[in-house]
Amino acid sequence: MEIKGTTALVTGGASGLGAATARELTRRGAKVAILDLSYDKGEALASEIDGLYINADVSSESEVAAAVDRVVAELGAARIAVNCAGIGPAARVVGREGELSIDLFRRTIAVNLTGTYNVISHAARAMRELEPTATDERGVVVSTASIAWQDGQYGQAAYAASKGGIASMMLPIAREFARSGIRCAAIAPGLFHTPMMEGLPDDVTEKIVSQVPFPARLGAPEEFGTMVAQIVENPYLNGTTVRLDGAARLPPR
């Protein structure tokens, strides 16, 4: 599907992978709406790309519904929806003193998995009302899994489960939306240069980079944004999860 002239919604678009995606889609001619809880960064980026910032929590169905309605009213229904909002806490299932992490598990699933499902649901409902393009498409939804979906490390049970859920629902959702001309796919990024990585000590960063065969470096957020655009533009890419990781495989710890 051609990006130029479309409306795009990017959740988690105020920083990191989401911000890079918002910039790339804008560069390719889309009008971008950013949905994020970081007000200052969201407003600043929206001003930079001449887009729209909406403060909303993806885990709240009512806030997502209101956000999608606002996008439709101000920019027109989004043909492109990109799910980048997420959290990545780490905790043992049972801690050293026997403490449990069930509340953290619920929160991680609520934001990463249910939040993605909320956005897919409301964005696709709006897409179904659009006229099909020349390639018979009404829209494309790209979600963010993680290589932890397959290589989850010690302490990542909640995170891996949430990202595995995203990867697992791509095919059934793509099958359901096929009759409406809406494609659905996910990217499973590996070790990327994001704000979370920037706070790590140099020796820790070096150890992480040593796990990436080639190119032997952290991924650039811009490369994630390019992958989003390539999925949107390739009409035969549907119902799958693409690893973007430089051939990295995470060790147990």
pLDDT in the model for residue 195: 78
Amino acid making up residue 131: E
Rounded Cα–Cα distance for residues 29 and 117 (Å): 27
DSSP reduced 3-state for 193: coil
pLDDT in the model for residue 202: 78
Work out whether strand 139-144 and strand 80-83 pair parallel, antiparallel, or are unpaired: parallel
Residue 8 phi, psi dihedral angles, 5° rounding: -130, 145
pLDDT in the model for residue 200: 64
pLDDT in the model for residue 250: 86
Tens-digit pLDDT string for the chain (253 aa): 999 999 999 999 999 999 999 999 999 999 999 999 999 999 999 999 999 999 999 999 999 999 999 999 999 999 999 999 999 999 999 999 999 999 999 999 999 999 999 999 999 999 999 999 998 999 999 999 999 999 988 999 999 999 999 999 999 999 999 999 999 999 999 999 887 777 666 776 788 788 899 999 999 999 999 999 999 999 999 999 999 999 999 888 8
Max alpha carbon distance in the chain (Å)? 60
Of 3.40.50.2300, 3.40.50.720, 3.40.640.10, 3.50.50.60, which CATH number belongs to 7-194+222-243? 3.40.50.720
Q: Which H or E run contains 187? A: strand 182-189
* pTM passes above 0.85: yes
Tokens of 225: 């944004």
Catalytic residue positions, numbered? 159
Rounded Cα–Cα distance for residues 71 and 246 (Å): 35
Rounded Cα–Cα distance for residues 232 and 76 (Å): 18
Rounded Cα–Cα distance for residues 180 and 53 (Å): 28
DSSP 82: E
Cβ(139)–Cβ(123) under 8 Å?
A: yes
pLDDT in the model for residue 251: 85
Q: Which H or E run contains 141? A: strand 139-144
